[in-house]
Chain A
Amino acid sequence: DIQMTQSPSSLSASVGDRVTITCRASQSISSYLNWYQQKPGKAPKLLIYAASSLQSGVPSRFSGSGSGTDFTLTISSLQPEDFATYYCQQSYSTPFFGPGTKVDIK
């Protein structure tokens, strides 16, 4: 199985901050990497697919980059509605999610 790690596990940030979350795969997954946002009591929401493609309807302040084993999710200017937990997920083989990064208010 291809394992996924994320860093940091949590972070505190202020509205307007630039936030970067990193995801690493245990072996190369090409660009088969997706990012999700989950708010308490809600289902995850797809933000980025194929490492860097923005899902329809997702604000452009979200962006993704990377390939192979190292990936990044960036929120260019954090908004109040962005405080949530973010998960990466590889779709190269058996789907596997990262452990999540919780973004909360500083």
Chain B
Amino acid sequence: QVQLQESGPGLVKPSQTLSLTCTVSGGSISSGGYYWSWIRQHPGKGLEWIGYIYYSGSTYYNPSLKSRVTISVDTSKNQFSLKLSSVTAADTAVYYCASSDSSGSQAFDIWGQGTMVTVSS
């Protein structure tokens, strides 16, 4: 049973870079077949997909965030990471990592528990 767990600072200063890591357990990123995504949810609001990475390192980002987002993968640690630069208060949200089947419906079938990130000085 694959499980995902987000980690990283809960407080980031404006203009700095938000960095989060998702650790995958119970399965291997290297085995392929899945996209590894970051999704966020502003307080009391809906869900926004940020981007995904494949085990090979290929990425696809939400065009609305593309200029500030970098997603990377470390297969040796079975982790993937998010960096969001030049953050503002509008980036305050719960950040989730999630996986989706790359060849089928691409629905997000496994989610981490989420981590709250607040942008404030």
A95 surroundings in chain B (CB, below 8 A): 37, 49, 62, 106, 108
* Interface pair A97/B107, CB less than 8 Å apart: no
Task: Kindly state the separation between the CA atoms of A15 and B46 in the bound complex, as whole angstroms.
Answer: 25
Does A43 lie within 8 Å of B111, measured CB to CB?
A: yes
> For the complex, is A87 an interface residue (Cβ under 8 Å from B)?
yes
Give bound CA distance, A49 to B109, whole Å: 9
Contacts of B109 in A (CB 8 A): 46, 49, 55
- B113-A97 in contact (CB<8A): no
| A97–B47 CB distance below 8 A | yes
Taken together as a complex, chains A and B put the C-alpha atoms of A53 and B42 apart, in Å, by 29
A98/B46 in contact, CB under 8 A: yes
- Complex formed: what's the CA distance from A54 to B104 in Å? 14
Contact-size category for A = 20 to 34
* Other-chain residue from B62, B96, B105, B114 in contact with A91 (beta carbon distance below 8 A): B105
Residues of B within 8 A of A83 (CB): none
Q: Roughly how many angstroms separate A99 CA and B111 CA in the complex, as a whole number?
A: 19
How long is the Cα–Cα vector from A43 to B108 in the complex, in angstroms?
A: 11
Report B-chain residues with C-beta under 8 Å of the C-beta of A99: 46
* Closest partner residue, chain A, to B114 (CB atom): A43
Closest approach, in angstroms, between the C-beta of A64 and any C-beta of chain B? 11
Q: B26 contacts the other chain (Cβ, under 8 Å)?
A: no
Output the least CB separation between B71 and chain A (Å).
14
User: Known pairs A49-B107, A50-B107, A55-B109. 5 more at Cβ < 8 A?
Assistant: A43-B98, A43-B114, A44-B108, A49-B104, A97-B46
